[in-house]
Every structure is written in C-alpha cells, then in structure tokens.
Amino acid sequence: MSPKPFGKRKKGGAAHAVREEVRGRLRQRLAELAAPCVRVDLASDDAASPPTGSCLGEGAYLPHGQPWPIDENGPMCFVAQINFAEAPKLVGFPERGLLQWFTSADDTYGLTFDESRGTVGFLARWFDDVSAPSVGEEPDDVDTDWSPVGDGRLILTEGLSLPAWKELPEDVRAEPLWQEVTDVLGDKGLAAVGYELEPEDVWEDLARGYESPLVGFVVGSKIGGFARFTQTDPRGDGAYPARNAPRGSVLLQLDSGESGGWGDGGVGQLFADPSAVAGGDLSSVRYNWDCG
C-alpha cells in the first residue's frame, strides 16, 4: 500500500514553511529511532516464482522426502516461503536457506486460544540446502477457502521499521517534538469537533501507520524490525516469548496490506530467534495473527 500524504494543503506562506520544518525534524528523529528490516512486497507482475523463490500462497518447494504437510484438518494451507539468499543482509538473520510456513485449514487458520496458542496449528520448515529439485505437488484437496493469504511472487528489499508508541522508552515519549508534531501536523478537523489528539495518535497514524507520508518506513509485511498488531501484542503471555528476547524477534510478518487475507484487515507473524533458525533449530518459532 502506497503511503498517503498529509491532507491537501495550499503550498506557500509561513504556515507551510512551519509544517515543512517540523516534518523535516520528524523525519530525522524517526530515522534515529528506526531499526533495519527487509521489506516484503507482492510482485506487481504475474511472473511465476521459481521452486526455491520467495513466494506467497502457492509454489511451495517440495524436494524428495518432504511431502505436503497434513494435520487433523487435512492438507495444510501454504502461506509463504522466504529464500534468505534473495533478501538483503540483516544482522542476526540467516543469509541463506529457505523458510516455509503452513497453517491448518480451519476458520481460525490454525490459531488456538488456550495455553497451546502460538505453538500448534501451523508448521514451519527450514531447508538449509535447496539444490535438490522440487518434485512434489500441492494436493488437489487443499481447502483454499481457509488460506489466510493471496498468492504470488515476493520481492525482498531493504527497509526501516518503527516501534509502536508503547515500545518507545519513556524519555523518548516525553520529547517535546511529538506534541509539536501533533499541534502542527495533526488533523485540525478532528480537533474542531472536540476530539483531542494525543501524540500517540499522530505517531501511530502519521509516523508509523499507513497514513504516513514518510516513504521508506515499512508498515506491513517484513522480515525483522518491529511488529504491528491490530489488537494486542501477545509476546510475554503464555507460550509466547518476551518482546525483547531473541525468541521474540519478527522472523516474518505478513500484513493484509500486501498479502491480502488474515480476516478483516489483519496481520500474521512468525516470531523466533533468527540465529537459531539459521542453524536449523525451529523450536523457538511461535505463530500469531489478529485482525480488526
């Protein structure tokens, strides 16, 4: 989804100059607070992905000895595969190898809501070597009605990711810049009808959100960086690792803005220790999705 500009305003004059000056300082501060990530986009063309290429929803790499996964709901739905050799290098993440993600074919895409949440209802596979030919095929009876995403070839490029407002240190949230941004760049129409904008609102919508005019910051689908949720962050609860633990890293996030699906405007994640995954250890992988 392309970033949208702040509302239509006439150029020129002192007010415009003030807005541009504040916007410039905002960009600079955000760049200091951002973390590198890999942006994940669905290709705009219909070119087929090679068997070991990064892709969404179809075209899973199936070498000899790796059949299509089946669970109690039948053949699982293929979500995505990421070939890390195609991705820009990200510190601590694999530089090669192929990650696959499947979910159970049911009305919650395999996610449970008890103590097992995040640990069942999905499958992550890791291929350190992808030199063997892909010989398997997707079964005819995969129930694509329960697939959480669309399909197509994926493009992996460098990006920057911003934390949620609540993830910022308290001293950063107290910086006067955020209130200045709120006063100068916030929606005056909302203020006129009695809605009091807070710095958090402007941060989430105009700095970090889909309304951001700051090209380069990745809102949705990504490898690494900071996660986005439509509801709450599950990390630190139940079987999910703490947000700041290595196992709480965003291994892969697929947002409906780029991937489609995930219910009503939702987003899905795999969390894991990326260095462990690079060594073929998938025991830390946890699964989550939510929607509005």
Average pLDDT over residues 231-239: 95
pLDDT tier at 188, thresholds 50, 70, 90: low
For residue 12, pLDDT beyond 60: no
CATH superfamily of 46-161+225-290: YwqG-like (2.30.320.10)
φ, ψ of residue 201 in degrees (nearest 5): -60, -45
Residue 130 CA to chain centroid, in angstroms? 25
φ, ψ of residue 12 in degrees (nearest 5): 95, 160
pLDDT score for 9: 38
Residue from 220, 269, 224, 165 nearest 36 by CA: 224
For residue 26, pLDDT beyond 90: no
Cα separations (Å) of 180 from 18, 175, 189?
11, 9, 17
pLDDT score for 229: 93
Residue located via tokens 């392309």: 2
Q: Across the chain, which distance is largest between two alpha carbons, in Å?
A: 68
Angle at 67 between CA 61 and CA 73, to 5 degrees: 110
The amino acid that residue 222 corresponds to is K
Greater model confidence, 185 or 77: 77
Q: Measured between alpha carbons, how far is 267 from 292 in angstroms, rounded to an integer?
A: 9
CB 263 within 8 A of CB 285: no
Q: Which residues contact 93 (CB under 8 A, 6 or more apart)?
A: 38, 84, 87, 223, 224, 274, 275, 278
- Give me 1's structure tokens: 């989804």
Q: Measured between alpha carbons, how far is 276 from 93 in angstroms, rounded to an integer?
A: 9
pLDDT score for 144: 86
Average pLDDT over residues 45-72: 94
pLDDT tier at 7, thresholds 50, 70, 90: very low
CB 38 within 8 A of CB 223: yes
Q: Which of 26-30, 89-93, 177-181, 182-186 has the lowest mean pLDDT?
A: 182-186
Where in the chain are the domains? 46-161+225-290
pLDDT per residue as tens digits for the range 83-141: 999 999 999 999 999 999 999 999 999 999 999 999 999 999 999 999 999 999 999 99
Angle at 154 between CA 241 and CA 221, to 5 degrees: 40
pLDDT score for 3: 35
Q: Measured between alpha carbons, how far is 177 from 171 in angstroms, rounded to an integer?
A: 12
- Give me 239's structure tokens: 């079987």
CB 240 within 8 A of CB 113: no
